[in-house]
């Protein structure tokens, strides 16, 4: 049965006229609805309004246009004698092409002024149903939800050959499109179920953007997937300006580095190695902050990932392309052309250094993590300590300068894998201990790094992501020169720990906040 009928019903009119004109040249009869029909008429393209097929004009102010057996029988019919006979008896011609895109629900609800009534008016019913029907019938029907695919469909139709793979590809794309659309609606409605609740359903649609060289290791496959509903994060949605391909591990470290520097209002720089900060600092200008971050642990910094929370200008680039060391990648909110050229021409390494300009995308409200056969979802750790809410629990007080260092160290420790310890002085990370099975080992590692790289930690502060269960680790830190310690508190032996610090003349501050990061 020769099928030369196409149904066009689109909200996004881009490319529509050219597509419809190409179909008409191929002898297709165009059936269209509502605004699509008017748009084609204005362009001088002949099409029949869908009401001529259904016998009904738009109902309920356009809410019901395409929901009719004549339409869906023409889409869902199979290539069987029984179905052909049924259609012929009713005078129904099958649809070979169904091009539909949906009401802009995601764009509508992105406006903070949107009301529930406004949002519900943008929930597409007929369009979703048409796409699903056409996708189900992909054995003969082209379900087109993206104007970028119009030219591909026309090319195949002009060739007068069947392309089962294209129809399958378009069907998968359409099902993913409607899934992401439903996910956006579910997400919006879930936010109205009550403040402070985790959503009862976490539905997200992601589209493969880039196939990566490999995963964490060469024997693993990997790709970058981006959300179909928008809302891309700063790194995932960022622009690669130069350098080789971004790897799986690069993405993980770029994300960690940029998240860390975004914690600070002052100019900040960070160096990340294997998801942990080996350097971090704040200063009066971004170049100085990054210079201090590099100096935190220059040995570990080699081959690391750099981030700054300010524009990457020629002064910052000068720190990056200095004579010593090599950095795999750098991410910044903005990169100037001159700075980019400096990095590109860095002798010996320039062609390899990845430069990413972060997008303006905001961080996610939730922190998802896959486990085998399931998904863990928690609020993202956005809590920031404030000086006036900290509790000094020892006899020894804390100066304003020490308090600034305490807040800096406790902010950095949030980005270190547990058990996490950071040592800082004058807005600079001196040492870090991460991922150890007990806290005293992390303290030992942090002290060792401070000793090897900075000649010790006299007068520095120490931060712990969780409480000290015993006095041993803080006592070790105090004897190494640490003068102030910040920790959440909450151990059954807090009193014993505090007494030990009083005997050593060390100040201790409780936050009441824990920052585990696994």
The per-residue pLDDT for range 230-256, each reduced to its tens digit, is 778 899 999 999 999 999 999 999 999
Write out pLDDT tens, residues 146-158: 999 999 999 999 9
Choosing among 3.40.140.20, 3.40.50.1010, 3.40.50.970, 2.60.40.10, the CATH entry for 243-357 is 3.40.140.20
pLDDT at residue 337 greater than cutoff 90: yes
Of 271, 265, 331, 280, nearest in space to 302 by CA? 271
Between 59 and 455, name the one with better pLDDT.
Answer: 455
pLDDT value of position 62: 59
What percentage of residues in the chain have a pLDDT greater than 70?
A: 96
pLDDT value of position 406: 95
Q: Which CATH class is domain 387-510?
A: alpha beta
User: Cα–Cα distance between 96 and 89 in angstroms, integer?
Assistant: 19
Between 89 and 438, name the one with better pLDDT.
Answer: 438
Write out pLDDT tens, residues 390-438: 999 999 999 999 999 999 999 999 999 989 999 999 999 999 999 899 9
pLDDT at residue 1 greater than cutoff 50: no
User: Cα–Cα distance between 157 and 168 in angstroms, integer?
Assistant: 15
CB 367 within 8 A of CB 380: yes
DSSP H or E segment with residue 51: helix 51-54
What average pLDDT score do residues 49-54 get? 76
pLDDT value of position 162: 80
Choosing among 3.40.50.1380, 3.30.300.30, 3.30.200.20, 2.40.160.40, the CATH entry for 5-190 is 3.40.50.1380
Between 440 and 518, name the one with better pLDDT.
Answer: 440
pLDDT band, residue 229 (cuts 50/70/90): confident
- The catalytic residue positions are 136, 274
Q: Torsions phi, psi of 210, nearest 5?
A: -140, 130
pLDDT value of position 483: 93
pLDDT at residue 61 greater than cutoff 80: no
- DSSP letter for 426, please: T
Residue spans of the domains in the chain: they are 5-190, 243-357, 387-510
What single string gives the DSSP state of each residue in 173-223?
A: HHHHHHHHHHHHHHHHHHTTS-TTPPPS-----EEEEEE-S-SSSTTS--E
pLDDT value of position 394: 95
Residues facing residue 168 across a β-bridge: none
pLDDT value of position 517: 87
What percentage of residues in the chain have a pLDDT greater than 90?
A: 59
Write out pLDDT tens, residues 250-292: 999 999 999 999 999 999 999 999 999 999 999 999 999 999 9
Average model confidence (pLDDT) across the chain: 89
pLDDT value of position 189: 85
Token output for 84: 């052909």
Task: Name the one residue in this structure whose structure tokens are 């359409």.
Answer: 174
pLDDT at residue 2 greater than cutoff 60: no
pLDDT at residue 378 greater than cutoff 70: yes
pLDDT at residue 473 greater than cutoff 90: yes
pTM of the predicted protein model? 0.84
Q: Do domains 5-190 and 243-357 have the same CATH topology?
A: no
466-469's contacts with Cβ under 8 Å and 24+ in sequence apart are: 466/418, 466/419, 466/420, 466/439, 466/514, 466/515, 466/516, 467/491, 467/494, 467/514, 468/439, 468/497, 469/439, 469/493
pLDDT value of position 60: 62
């Amino acid at each position: 049965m020769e099928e030369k009928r196409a149904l066009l019903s689109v909200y996004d009119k881009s490319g529509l006229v050219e597509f419809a004109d190409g179909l008409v040249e191929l002898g297709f009869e165009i059936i269209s609805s509502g605004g699509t029909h008017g748009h084609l008429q204005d362009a001088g393209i002949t099409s029949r309004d869908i009401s001529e097929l259904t016998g009904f004009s738009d109902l309920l102010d356009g809410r019901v246009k395409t929901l009719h057996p004549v339409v869906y029988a023409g889409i869902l019919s199979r290539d069987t004698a029984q179905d052909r006979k049924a259609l012929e008896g009713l005078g129904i011609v099958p649809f070979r092409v169904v091009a539909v895109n949906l009401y802009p629900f995601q764009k509508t609800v992105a406006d903070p002024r949107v009301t529930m009534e406004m949002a519900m008016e943008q929930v597409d019913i007929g369009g979703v149903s048409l796409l699903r029907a056409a996708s189900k019938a992909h054995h003969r029907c082209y379900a087109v939800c993206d104007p970028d695919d119009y030219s591909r469909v026309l090319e195949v139709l002009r060739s007068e050959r069947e392309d089962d793979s294209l129809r399958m590809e378009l069907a998968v794309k359409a099902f993913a499109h409607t899934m992401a659309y439903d996910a956006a609606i579910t997400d919006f409605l879930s936010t109205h179920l009550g403040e402070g609740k985790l959503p009862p359903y976490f539905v997200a649609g992601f589209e493969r953007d880039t196939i990566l060289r490999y995963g964490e290791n060469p024997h693993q496959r990997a790709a970058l997937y981006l959300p179909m509903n928008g809302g891309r994060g700063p790194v995932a949605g960022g622009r690669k300006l130069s350098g080789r391909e971004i790897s799986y591990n690069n993405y993980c470290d770029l994300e960690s580095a940029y998240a860390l520097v975004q914690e600070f209002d002052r100019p900040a720089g960070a160096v990340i190695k294997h998801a942990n900060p080996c350097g971090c600092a704040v200063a009066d200008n971004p170049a100085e902050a990054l210079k201090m971050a590099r100096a935190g642990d220059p040995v570990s910094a080699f081959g690391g990932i750099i981030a700054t929370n300010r524009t990457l200008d020629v002064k910052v680039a000068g720190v990056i392309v200095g004579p010593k060391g090599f950095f795999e990648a750098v991410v910044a909110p903005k990169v100037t052309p001159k700075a980019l050229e400096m990095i590109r021409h860095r002798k010996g390494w320039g062609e390899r250094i990845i430069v990413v300009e972060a997008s303006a995308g905001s961080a996610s409200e939730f922190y998802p993590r896959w486990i085998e056969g399931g998904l863990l979802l928690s609020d993202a750790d956005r809590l920031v300590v404030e000086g006036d809410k900290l509790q000094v629990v020892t006899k020894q007080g804390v100066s304003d300068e020490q308090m600034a260092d305490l807040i800096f160290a406790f902010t950095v420790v949030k980005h270190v894998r547990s058990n996490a310890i950071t040592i800082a002085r004058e807005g600079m990370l001196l040492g870090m201990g991460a991922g150890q099975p007990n806290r005293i080992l992390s303290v030992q590692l942090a002290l060792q790094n401070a000793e090897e790289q900075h000649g010790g930690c006299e007068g520095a502060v120490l931060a712990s992501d969780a409480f000290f269960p015993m006095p041993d680790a803080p006592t070790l830190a105090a004897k190494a020169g640490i003068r102030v310690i910040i920790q959440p508190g909450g151990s059954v032996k807090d009193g014993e720990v505090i007494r030990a610090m009083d005997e050593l003349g060390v100040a201790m501050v409780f936050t009441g906040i824990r920052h585990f990061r696994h």
